[in-house]
Chains A and B, each alone.
Chain A
Amino acid sequence: MVENRPLAAILTHVVLIAGIVFLCFPVWVALVASTHPGEALQRSPIPMWFGDQGFANYSQLLREGVPAAGGVPLSTMMLNSLFMALGITVGKIAISLISAFAIVYFRFPFRMLFFWLIFATLMLPVEVRILPTYDVVASLGMLNSYPGLIIPLIASATATFLFRQFFMTIPDELVEAARIDRAGPLRFFWDILLPLSRTNIAALFIILFIYGWNQYLWPFLITTDQDLYTVVMGIQRMVNVGEGVPIWNYTMGTAILAMIPPVLVVLVMQRLFVKGLVESEK
């Protein structure tokens, strides 16, 4: 049904635009604030248009960091976050693909028991098992290291379950055709299962990357070495500096920089995701 009533059209647009403004306003304020000197933000009204300190602020952030907040360059923190987020994402996807493959396509003793064990871990997110996990990581000597940041967060019942559900929708005949075509289990996995899972992998990649990027509690606990701090920790430290030292411009700049990688991932993966959806239409 296509209606052509100008009043309704105007109204819907007003509502939509209002929504967008409402959502984008904080981002705009942050972006603008990151281009002013720190003092400008302590006066009211706060500026609504760009200042002239943008370049200086960002290069200070990326190269040296903010001395009042520990002075770790943001480039280091961004890289740390990126390593951690990518490690968690790739690790989670790889492990859950493989576990789902085992559970769906192989008959081994206690298969269902293992499945339910994996499923049960859904009830144990990091926050719940944080003390024992910390203990294990500490006794393995993985404090203050990338593996320590990444490995404890890799196991994923959700993704395993998702891939399992997807694998079970693949018709048996396809598996049988592959057997007749002399594809052993590994060939079948690489040549058929993996390409068919593209869309699911892209969707999970988005979700898991953002999950990994936004981790706060775990990195906060296991890193004491500033060289391993992540962006999210960096923001938190700056916020903690308080009102005494005017660094809101840097805080906002850090927030803006921290937003960029997840946005990029969404943009890139979304395209893959939509392409996969269109192609797999049957």
Chain B
Amino acid sequence: MANLKLDRVGKTYAGGVSAVENASFEIADGEFIVLVGPSGCGKSTMLRMIAGLEEITDGDVQIGDRSVNGVEPGDRNIAMVFQNYALYPHMTVRGNMAYGLRNQGMPKPEVEARIAEAARFLQLEPYLDRKPSALSGGQRQRVAMGRAIVREPSVFLFDEPLSNLDAKLRTQLRAELKDLHKRLGATFIYVTHDQIEAMSLADRIVIMSAGRIEQIGTPMELYANPASTFVAEFIGAPPMNVLPVTGEAARAFLAQEARVPDDLGHVGIRPELMSIGDNGIPATITLVEPLGAETLVHLKMGADKLIMRSGHGLALDAGAEIKVAVEAGALRFFDRDGRTRSA
């Protein structure tokens, strides 16, 4: 009932800034979609166009098979959660949640019932009569979620809702969000610049760069088969090693590969698909970062630098000479424009 369709959507701001260009994708009912990309790439603009807060200048947005261009945000059956919470500061938690429902003319008992349920689910019951200024950041964001939930919209929109919170709370609320999605079964569209959030939350990720969609796919698709060097370097921490074919490292990797496409620009390899072997490509360790469960090993191959992920208990120090072995099929190939080429 709430599938969503964007058809060649574009946004050019009054000053001539083109924030989003030619964006097309479809979202199935109940999907959890994450829009991810570096700051300024147009994620918020995209979300706000879906919400109806921003007029679209090109294309068509459909919610539930209905074109909603020109439909007011309040009539789109959506709810939105903002990074800075955007709670009404002069209303209590209860008032904040009730406001939208009262504006719809919902009878009071039903408003109360919905608030009670949302408050129970979000553990906000003790705070219902407080003002937002008397709540912590995490509690405020819960209230904002509550305000969205009580409306029972078919699409939830989130714009970096966790970015103002500390790391621990972020992890906790991330889990709660995922749980919320499962329980409500509604469509979620979630904007973040944090690829870890994107990977852990999304059914499918839409990754954007400079106003354009780079790739759409499940987190593992994006991770395993990035469509471009941009995606390869954005997803994963540490990111994929992307090496120019003219460098020594790339030539050494390619020498081991049976089938190599022509017209290559770059070669990519994930840090965990390399290991220290008895034979392989010679490299020098420049830095060892033990992180507990794993160790990040910074390597130098000729003039190229790359990072390898290794298990714990690595007994080597910077300066050691090692041999690097590569798993079969680990290499990814990109042309000179950074687009994927298959072998």
Instruction: Name the one of B80, B90, B147 contacting A176, with C-beta atoms under 8 angstroms.
Output: B80
If the complex has contacts A173-B86, A177-B82, are A183 and B103 also in contact, measured as CB distance less than 8 A?
Answer: yes
| Minimum CB–CB distance for A227 against chain B, Å | 43
* Cβ-defined contact, A196 with B90, below 8 A: yes
B131, CB-defined interface residue at 8 Å: yes
Residues in A with CB closer than 8 Å to B84 are 171, 173
Contact with A along B62-99 (1 / 0, CB 8 A): 00000000001111001110111011111000000001
B59, CB-defined interface residue at 8 Å: no
- Interface segment, one of A115-123, A252-260, A274-282: A274-282
Residues in B with CB closer than 8 Å to A179 are 53, 72-74
State in angstroms the CA–CA spacing of A182 and B51 once bound together: 13
| Minimum CB–CB distance for A200 against chain B, Å | 13
| Minimum CB–CB distance for B83 against chain A, Å | 8
State in angstroms the CA–CA spacing of A198 and B90 once bound together: 10
* Cβ-defined contact, B89 with A180, below 8 A: no
| Minimum CB–CB distance for A138 against chain B, Å | 45
A271, CB-defined interface residue at 8 Å: no
Residues in A with CB closer than 8 Å to B225 are none
State in angstroms the CA–CA spacing of A187 and B72 once bound together: 15
* Cβ-defined contact, B88 with A180, below 8 A: no
If the complex has contacts A176-B80, A280-B89, are A181 and B133 also in contact, measured as CB distance less than 8 A?
Answer: no
If the complex has contacts A183-B103, A196-B90, A282-B89, are A176 and B73 also in contact, measured as CB distance less than 8 A?
Answer: yes
State in angstroms the CA–CA spacing of A260 and B90 once bound together: 33
Residues in A with CB closer than 8 Å to B75 are 182
A192, CB-defined interface residue at 8 Å: yes
| Minimum CB–CB distance for A127 against chain B, Å | 39
The residue in chain A whose Cβ has the minimal distance to the Cβ of B53 is: A176
Contact with B along A238-282 (1 / 0, CB 8 A): 000000000000000000000000000000000000000001111
| Minimum CB–CB distance for A173 against chain B, Å | 4
Instruction: Name the one of A171, A181, A196, A198 contacting B74, with C-beta atoms under 8 angstroms.
Output: A181
* Cβ-defined contact, B103 with A176, below 8 A: no
* Cβ-defined contact, A180 with B78, below 8 A: yes
| Minimum CB–CB distance for B286 against chain A, Å | 45
Question: Which of B53, B90, B103 has the most CB atoms of chain A within a 10 A radius of its CB?
Answer: B90
B100, CB-defined interface residue at 8 Å: yes
B172, CB-defined interface residue at 8 Å: no
Contact with A along B131-167 (1 / 0, CB 8 A): 1010000000000000100000000000000000000
The residue in chain B whose Cβ has the minimal distance to the Cβ of A197 is: B90
State in angstroms the CA–CA spacing of A198 and B89 once bound together: 12
Residues in B with CB closer than 8 Å to A191 are 99
Instruction: Mark out the residues of chain A between 176 and 235 whose CB falls within 8 Å of any chain B CB in the assembled complex.
Output: 176-183, 187, 191-192, 195-196, 198
- CB<8 Å pairs between A and B, sample of 20: A173-B82, A173-B84, A173-B86, A174-B86, A176-B51, A176-B82, A177-B86, A177-B147, A178-B88, A179-B72, A179-B73, A180-B51, A180-B80, A181-B74, A181-B100, A181-B103, A279-B90, A280-B90, A282-B89, A282-B133
